[in-house]
Amino acid sequence: MRTDSEEMDPTMAHEPGAPLRVALLGCGVVGSAVARQLVDHADDLAARVGAPLQLVGIAVRRPQRPRPDVPVDPTLFTADADGLVERADIVIEVIGGIDPARELILRAMAHGASVVSANKALLAEDGPTLYAAADAADVDLYYEAAVAGAIPILRPIRESLAGDDVRRVLGIVNGTTNFVLDRMDTSGAGFAETVEQAQALGYAEADPTADVEGFDAAAKAAILASLAFHTRVSSGDVYREGITEVTAGDIQAARDMDCVVKLLAICERVTGPDGGDAVSVRVHPAMIPRSHPLASVRDAFNAVFVEASAAGPLMFYGRGAGGDPTASAVLGDVVAVARHRVAGGRGPGESAYADLPVVEMGRSRTRYHISLDVADRPGVLAQVATAFAAHDVSIETVRQQAAPGEGERAKLIVVTHAASDAALAATVDALAELESVDDVASVLRVEGA
Amino acid sequence: MRTDSEEMDPTMAHEPGAPLRVALLGCGVVGSAVARQLVDHADDLAARVGAPLQLVGIAVRRPQRPRPDVPVDPTLFTADADGLVERADIVIEVIGGIDPARELILRAMAHGASVVSANKALLAEDGPTLYAAADAADVDLYYEAAVAGAIPILRPIRESLAGDDVRRVLGIVNGTTNFVLDRMDTSGAGFAETVEQAQALGYAEADPTADVEGFDAAAKAAILASLAFHTRVSSGDVYREGITEVTAGDIQAARDMDCVVKLLAICERVTGPDGGDAVSVRVHPAMIPRSHPLASVRDAFNAVFVEASAAGPLMFYGRGAGGDPTASAVLGDVVAVARHRVAGGRGPGESAYADLPVVEMGRSRTRYHISLDVADRPGVLAQVATAFAAHDVSIETVRQQAAPGEGERAKLIVVTHAASDAALAATVDALAELESVDDVASVLRVEGA
C-alpha cells in the first residue's frame, strides 16, 4: 500500500483510505484476544478509524507453535520483534515486564509508530523516558489497559477531568486481592486457605507475590497519581503493604464496624511539609464502610473512586483483568491513535507541570482501627488513652467488650481521628509495651470516610 | 494578541503560546460555575492546554444585572451573543433549549470556533446538523456535560469503547426522578407527596414535567444510543414513559421481589424485523434487583451501566446535575478542544456509519411484573395462565398471596420471561377483561437480569 519512499519518512501524513499497519508484540491471553478482535471486528474498526487496520505481524518467542485460538495467517507470527516494529504504523505491546518491552517500544517510536501498551510495570517504572520518546517522534503513547483492565479510567482522568482538580483517588485495582478479601469476608476463612481457593479457581497465580504483596497495585497507583496530579510518580515512590498479614480476625473486626477490608490504591492531594500541595501515594489494606460505593465491589471486579473539586465523587467499575476485557481497552486506544494518524493530531502527552512532592508514608494522614486485648480492671483505659495522647493522636471512639470466657480480660477497640501515619505507628508500638495490654490483636487503617 | 489579518482566517493554526479566546453563552447555575472555574484555575488550565484561556465575553439577557458570584470584569457581560461568538476560538454554550442556542452554535462554527455545549435537548433533536456544521468548519463539537452531568460517559463510550461493541446501556440519567423514586422506596410515601418534598428541597423544579415525564431522560437516551451504536437516534425515536403513574403499591411490589424501581434510559442492540441488528431506545420505570449495581444509586445521583461484548459490564457513577459538577464536564471538554487548537487535530466527529434501524417499542423485548387482585377460587390461575399463553408470553414465576382480611380474594404476582412489549401489553389488556380478575393492581417492566 505504501511505497518505499513513503516508508522513509515515518512522520508523514497518512494517505487517505490506506490501511494502517498494526504490529502485535506478545500473544498470551491478552494478545490473542486482541488479535481475535482485530480480525472479527475488522469492518467496524475500519469504519470507526476511517481506514482499515491491517495486522502485519505478531511477535512471539515460538512462531512455529500452533495457535488454533488465533484466527490469523500463521505466517504472521515472527520471532523478529525488532524487525516487526519497524514496519508498523501502530505497535501494540502486550508482552509485559520491563525488557525487552521498553527497547521495542522505543524502537517502534523511533521508527514513527504510535504505541499502545498494557504494560503497567514499565509505565510505572520508566514512563517519563517513554513519554519523551513519544514527544521526540511526535507519536502517540496510550496505555488505558495498564490500569483496571476494561474500565475506562485513564482517559477520564487525563481528559474528562482535565478542567477539574482531582483531590483523591481510591482504587480497587487488583482483582486477585479483591477476590481473596471478598471471600475471606463471606466465608470467614483465613488468608492462606483463601489464596489456595483463588489459585484453584484461576483467580491467583501459582506465585501470587505480585498481587498479594501489592506490587501490581503499586504500579497502577503510580500511574493514576501521575495523571491525576500532573506529577511524575514512579513505583518506587509508592508506599506498599500487601494483604498477607490480613487475618480472619481483622475481617471480623471490620464486620463489627460495619466495614469491609479492601486493598486500596490511594492517591491523595495533601499538604506538604512546606505547607504547599503535595501528594500521598500508597497501597495498603484498609477498612471502608459498607455504605461506601467501593464496598460493594465483589469478586475479582475492579473499581476506581475519584473525588474532584468540582465534579464531586465519581466511580468507575468493571472487569480489571482477563483477555477480552483488557483487549477492549487496548483496542479503544488503537482506534484513538489510528484516528490521529488518519485525521492528524496527537492525544495529550505527559503532563507533569505541577511537579508536586510525594510525601513519605509517615506524613500521610490516616485513621487507624486498633483492637487490643487488655486486662479488665480500672485504670487500663486511662493508660491506653494516655499513650494516644502522648503521640498527639485523637481518639474518635473506644468500645470495650468483655472477652468471652475470660473474666479478667477484655477487648478494647479504638478508632482514631486522622493523624500522621508515623504518630499512629508509634502509638501502636507504645501500646504494645503497656503492661496492661496483652496483645495488639489487629491494626488496620480506615479510609473512605 | 491576534492581528486582524489572523482573525480573517479562522481555521489557521494557533500561534504558540497565544491566548485562546473563550466566549461563554449563558450565565445561570452552570454558566456562573464555568466562569468561576475559568478564573480560579486559570494557571492550571493554561498549563494543561499549553496556552492561556482568555474569557472574552459572557452573553446574557441582562448584562447590567449585578452578579457578585461571578468574579469577572463586569464589562465582559454582553447582550450581543451574535457578535461575541464571532470573536472567540472556543464557544461554551450553556443556555439550553433549541433557539437561540442552535443559531449561535452554527454561527460560532461558521466563524471557526470550536464549541462545547451542555445542551442535551438540542443535541438530541438536531445533532446531525451540528455535526455537519462542525465538519464543514473543521472544528470540534464536544458535549460531555449534556448527559449525566459530571460523569465522564460520552468520552468513554465514544473513545474508550471504540474498539468494542456496546450491547446495552442502562442509565439512571435524571437526578430528580431518582431522588423521588429513592424517597418513595425509603419512606413508603406516594408520588405526589414525594414530588412536593423534592420541590421543597430543591431537587425538583416548580414545573417538574420535563423530569417526571421522562423528556429529559429521553434526550439523554438518544445521545447515548447515537454514540453507542454509531447510528442517528433523535429524541423522537425514543419511547418514553415517565414516573407519574408509579404508585406506592408498585414500590412495595418491587420490595417484595427484592427489587427497586428506577427510571431507566435503555439503549439496546436487538434483532430487527429483518433479522439484522437494530436498536431499541426507551425510557421507562422498571424494577431492577437490589443486587444490581444500579440499585444502590441513591438520592439524586446518576449512573450509567454499560455492557460491551469484550469489556463486559461497566458502570460510571457520579453527580448528574448542579453547577460545579456540570462545569467540571464542560471544562474537561474546553481543555480538550483547546488542546486541539494548540496542537492540531480534532476529536472524533459524528459516527453514524452503522445506521441501524430503531425498533418500535412494541417489538422491544422486555419482562413484566404484574400484580393481580383475583377471586380466591379454583380455576382462576388456569384462566390467568391461559391469557398469557394466548399471547405467547411465557411465565417465569407465579406467586399467590391471600389478600389480608378478605377471605375470598387473593393476589397473584406474575413475572414473565422476556417477550415483545406489544404481546405483554395485550396480555395485560386481556387480564383486565377476565371476570375473575378484579384489578390489575401493578404492571412494571423488569430489567437488569
Average pLDDT over every residue of B9-28: 81
- C-beta atoms of A161 and B152 within 8 A: yes
Is-catalytic flag, B262?
Answer: no
- The strand pair at A437-446 and A259-271 is best described as unpaired
Tens digit of each residue's pLDDT (9 = 90 or more) over A24-72: 999 999 999 999 999 999 999 999 999 999 999 999 999 999 999 999 9
Q: Do B150 and A331 touch (CB under 8 A)?
A: no
Grid coordinates representing A425 are 505507628
Q: Which residues pair with A285 in a beta bridge?
A: A263
Q: How many degrees, rounded to 5, is the angle at CA A378 between CA A375 and CA A381?
A: 70
For domain B364-446, is the CATH number 3.30.70.260? yes
- Picking from A159, A335, A351 by the largest number of B CB atoms within 10 A of its own CB, the best residue to mutate is A159
pLDDT of residue A403: 66
**CB-CB under 8 Å, B319 with A311:** yes
User: CATH 3.40.50.720 spans which residues of chain B?
Assistant: 4-150+324-343
Cell numbers 489494606 correspond to A285
Surface of A (306-335) touching B: CB under 8 A = 308-319, 322, 324-325, 327-335
What is the rounded CA–CA span in Å between residue A140 and residue A134?
A: 6
The shortest C-alpha distance from A63 to chain B (Å) reads: 26
Arithmetic mean of pLDDT, A323-342: 97
d(CA B351, CA B154): 13
- Candidates B328, B333, B350, partner chain A, best to mutate (most A CBs within 10 A): B328
| Closest chain B residue to A345, measured at CA | B345
Return the residue of A nearest to B330 by Cα. Answer: A163
Going B353 to B359 to B360 to B366, the CA torsion angle's sign is negative
Residues 216-255 of A with CB under 8 A from B: 230
The CATH architecture that domain B154-319 belongs to is 2-Layer Sandwich (3.30)
Residue B307 carries which DSSP code? E
CATH topology for A4-149+324-343 is Rossmann fold (3.40.50)
pLDDT value at residue B377 = 86
- Check B120, B220, B262, B411 and give the catalytic one: B220
d(CA A293, CA A287): 13
The answer to whether A263 and A181 are in contact (CB under 8 A) is yes
Q: Which three three-digit cell numbers place residue B255?
A: 420490595
Please report where in the chains the cell 442556542 appears, as a residue: B101
Residue A47 and residue B329: Cβ atoms within 8 Å?
Answer: no
Rounded distance between C-alpha atoms, residue B370 and residue A340, angstroms: 52
Q: Taking residues A368-394, report their average pLDDT.
A: 94
Cβ atoms B263, B243 nearer than 8 A: yes
Return the pLDDT at B7. Answer: 42
Among candidate residues B203, B214, B206, the one with its CA nearest the CA of residue B300:
B203
The model's pLDDT over B113-123, given as tens digits with 9 standing for 90+, comes to 999 999 999 99
Look at B151 and A33 and tell me if their CB atoms are within 8 Å. Answer: no
pLDDT over 90 (residue A5)? no
Q: Which three cell numbers stand for residue A398?
A: 473506644
Question: In chain A, where does the domain assigned CATH 3.40.50.720 lie?
Answer: 4-149+324-343
In the three-class reduction of DSSP (H, G, I as helix; E, B as strand; rest coil), residue A161 is classed as coil
Check if A136 contacts B (Cβ < 8 Å).
no
> Is the Cβ–Cβ distance between A339 and B357 less than 8 Å?
no
Strand partners, B420: B365
Give the span between the Cα atoms of B387 and B435, in whole angstroms.
Answer: 12
Q: How far apart are CA B300 and CA B179, in angstroms?
A: 5
Which helix or strand (DSSP H or E) is residue A380 part of? Answer: helix A380-390
Domain with CATH 3.30.360.10 in chain A: 154-319
Cα separation of the two ends of chain B: 58
The pLDDT value given to residue B409 = 87
Does A410 contact chain B (CB < 8 Å)? Answer: no
- Kind and range of the H or E run holding A442: strand A437-446
Q: Which residues pair with A268 in a beta bridge?
A: A168, A280
Are residues B335 and A159, on separate chains, in Cβ contact within 8 Å? yes
Q: To 5 degrees, how large is the angle CA A418–CA A420–CA A424? A: 85
pLDDT at B96 over 90: yes
Taking an 8 Å cut-off on Cβ atoms, the answer to whether A353 and B37 are in contact is no
Cβ neighbours, 10 Å, residue B61: 10
Nearest residue in chain B measured CA to CA from A156: B152
Please name the fold of domain B4-150+324-343. Answer: Rossmann fold (3.40.50)
What is residue B404's predicted lDDT score, i.e. its pLDDT? 66
Q: Does B151 touch chain A (CB under 8 A)?
A: yes
CB B375 within 8 A of CB B438: yes
